[in-house]
Chains A and B, each alone.
Chain A
Amino acid sequence: MSKPVFLSSHSFGDLTNESTASCHNEELRNLSLSGHVGFDSLPDQLVNKSTSQGFCFNILCVGETGIGKSTLMDTLFNTKFESDPATHNEPGVRLKARSYELQESNVRLKLTIVDTVGFGDQINKDDSYKPIVEYIDAQFEAYLQEELKIKRSLFNYHDTRIHACLYFIAPTGHSLKSLDLVTMKKLDSKVNIIPIIAKADTIAKNELHKFKSKIMSELVSNGVQIYQFPTDEETVAEINATMSVHLPFAVVGSTEEVKIGNKMAKARQYPWGVVQVENESHCDFVKLREMLIRVNMEDLREQTHARHYELYRRCKLEEMGFKDTDPDSKPFSLQETYEAKRNEFLGELQKKEEEMRQMFVMRVKEKEAELKEAEKELHEKFDLLKRTHQEEKKKVEDKKKELEDEVNNFQKKKAATQLLQSQAQQSGAQQTKKDKDKKNASFT
């Protein structure tokens, strides 16, 4: 590569340099090179770096239980991802994510397959789409959180955002189910949807064509935005355009091999024939694999980041109250809104603190009052007891006095009676003496 290359005037976006740099050209000068510089190795340098870090790819499979999601994944990636088939008894839809490391030549891929377990099994499917939307949002949120951190490490962040959503349509042959429409409508602004018809070997060729057109027209009339294979780059525009015509891809999955001719091929064996997975006239599996992996994997990742994630981020930040420009379209710095929010938040905090303090004070007062009451009661009781005690004491003393009085009286009475007795005795004696004297006297 030593030919000098002339570049016709081509400006790369805006070069607006609002710094203190003086006298710089706003127009970019186009230069011709007089020899080989060597920066054409730049894409290789970039690719080498990415290769050494490894790639992430996350696929979400949405479809009813038993529609063939796990089998298709096994077939796509040529391996058996261990998983037990789900039952139909799930109470709600839940998402099961599994990560695998695959390596091909020097490319390391961290593949995450997310399955919707229990989708379409419930009697009431109103909320079926919600866990799916929540999961997708949660991955965006995780990335956003990392991006907003002060100390962040985005370059070795394990990206879990869903890059592609394979929506499995049941091969009824009629049209989309209302659950399908509702779910896809909810997901189309959050993830790249690639609709596929599962178990396509149950539909005959002529019915298939009608089925596909019915599905596509229903999607269009309901405004469902499915993933558009990019047609802006010349090398892939053609293949993408031709493949898009076959959407939704009618696929058949199988990990079993059947001998066809003298080769072993992945196929499903029926009494009436063998459906070959990789035969393009039997099903669109090869097309799906081309589109999903071999042509557009990088574009899927880029769309997820540049479109779906940015949309999520914008909505989330706006929800939190941030704006880029105010009504006068003057650039509204994030700073102001942050400050306002912070003041608001601090104000709320303060208010809460006040409330809590007041409540605390009130409680304390209540408790104090209670305690005072109790104290008063106690005092009263004590007084009462004291009085009772005093009364009793008085009573006892009264009784004692009474008793003493009685005793005194008794003593007095006793003394008196004794005296009387002695007097009586004396007088008796005197009487008797008198009597005796009398008698004596009479005798004389």
Chain B
Amino acid sequence: MSKGLPETRTDAAMSELVPEPRPKPAVPMKPVSINSNLLGYIGIDTIIEQMRKKTMKTGFDFNIMVVGQSGLGKSTLVNTLFKSQVSRKAASWNREEKIPKTVEIKAIGHVIEEGGVKMKLTVIDTPGFGDQINNENCWEPIEKYINEQYEKFLKEEVNIARKKRIPDTRVHCCLYFISPTGHSLRPLDLEFMKHLSKVVNIIPVIAKADTMTLEEKSEFKQRVRKELEVNGIEFYPQKEFDEDLEDKTENDKIRQESMPFAVVGSDKEYQVNGKRVLGRKTPWGIIEVENLNHCEFALLRDFVIRTHLQDLKEVTHNIHYETYRAKRLNDNGGLPPGEGLLGTVLPPVPATPCPSAE
């Protein structure tokens, strides 16, 4: 990947900070390009190893949220993605177990390790979403939760004595489960994505894709893509954040052909052709989850975990979080958030239908 170097910061800004009477401290000139390959090995490229070692030591945080009506297979999919019992499913559909009256937010943290890399994975479930008779504004608790995480981070960042590593609870990725009706998106889907695509990375997935044939699947996907475009919903990877041509072509391909991923989840293994594979057993055959001919689970997994995990975090930090911060500071007149003087309470965290407890 060849990307342009960040622009040299305007030197004027630096020289302004220096008091005049003293001999003026220097200001870095525009960089001169020197190709040192000819003159001998210096060892600058070892910084990659150094950096890798450091990051492996500190570990990573990743927070993924799943949103969708109950019964769409959210928990199963998350378990399949991370190859472990990350979510405990509502095992049996038990009428005694009440459907939550409002959308609840359940965040459960896990620590997993692979290849020396430690990851603190937090799965945020949203039971009750879209399950009521009247689902108006059911995205509000979700939006509020997301903003609360930004708020927490901002508060930590604004402290004078800061922690070395601010715990990151911000939602990096939101998987939105679309019901495989085969027709088009529901109004609830559109409303949710419209509101939330501005604050979080949304990855729409078509759940239970084994109910559609290949033609139905591709038609449905096309229609969904069209509808998302018509409604101005920017799902991840957002067009405006493509950094260079290479990214753009890569992401364009994903955006226009693969997404939304039509997935099937399963945590049961079956024997197929002598191999043990994850799948769903039906009278008419075994649907292999990781078989690209059967469904696009593998694409989703590779996309989210193997290639774009870091990018998801970066877009969340550099763009969504910064947007939130800028808006928050602006609303406060340039002041960081908190409770006002003499007990006056500042405008609460956005998207709060009811007073928040901070």
Listed in ascending order, the chain A residues whose CB lies under 8 Å from chain B are: 1, 5, 7, 10-25, 28-55, 76-79, 81, 91-110, 112, 114, 130-131, 134-135, 138-139, 141-142, 145, 150-158, 160, 233, 235-236, 289-290, 293-299, 302, 306, 310, 313-314, 317-318, 322-324, 333-336, 338-340, 342-343
Contact = CB atoms under 8 A, between A and B. Distances in A.
A302 B346 CA distance: 36
A295 B46 contact: yes
Interface residues of B, number: 123
B37 to A, nearest CB: 7
A5 B310 CA distance: 22
A145 B9 CA distance: 13
B302 interface: yes
B92 interface: no
A47 B305 contact: no
B309 A138 contact: no
Interface string B58-88: 0111100000000000000000011111100
What are the 9 closest A-B residue pairs judged by CB atoms, nearest first? Answer: A333-B338, A40-B115, A335-B338, A135-B25, A45-B310, A298-B50, A99-B31, A156-B6, A294-B43
A17 B311 contact: no
A210 B3 CA distance: 50
A101 B305 contact: no
B144 interface: yes
Given A28-B110, A92-B22, A94-B23, 7 more contacts: A96-B26, A107-B45, A114-B26, A145-B13, A150-B329, A236-B53, A297-B44
* Residue from B48, B82, B159, B311 with most neighbouring chain A CB atoms (10 Å): B48
Nearest to B1: A52
A94 B47 contact: no
A296 B317 CA distance: 27
A324 B160 contact: yes
A47 B111 contact: no
A50 B1 CA distance: 11
Contacts of A106: 45
B306 interface: yes
B160 A322 contact: yes
Contacts of A46: 51-52, 55, 310
B4 to A, nearest CB: 9
Contacts of A236: 53
A98 B34 CA distance: 13
A32 B85 CA distance: 9
Interface string B24-47: 111111111111110111111111
A50 B309 contact: no
A39 B117 contact: yes
Given A37-B305, A141-B17, A294-B46, A150 B114 contact: no
Interface stretch (B162-170, B191-199, B219-227): B162-170
B120 A97 contact: no
A10 B122 CA distance: 15
B338 A336 contact: yes
9 contacts: A14-B167, A36-B83, A37-B114, A52-B243, A95-B26, A150-B334, A160-B28, A335-B336, A336-B338
B340 interface: yes
A299 B54 contact: yes
B232 interface: no
Contacts of B41: 78, 104
Nearest to A115: B26
A336 B341 contact: yes
Contacts of B358: 18
Contacts of B5: 53-54, 101, 108, 110
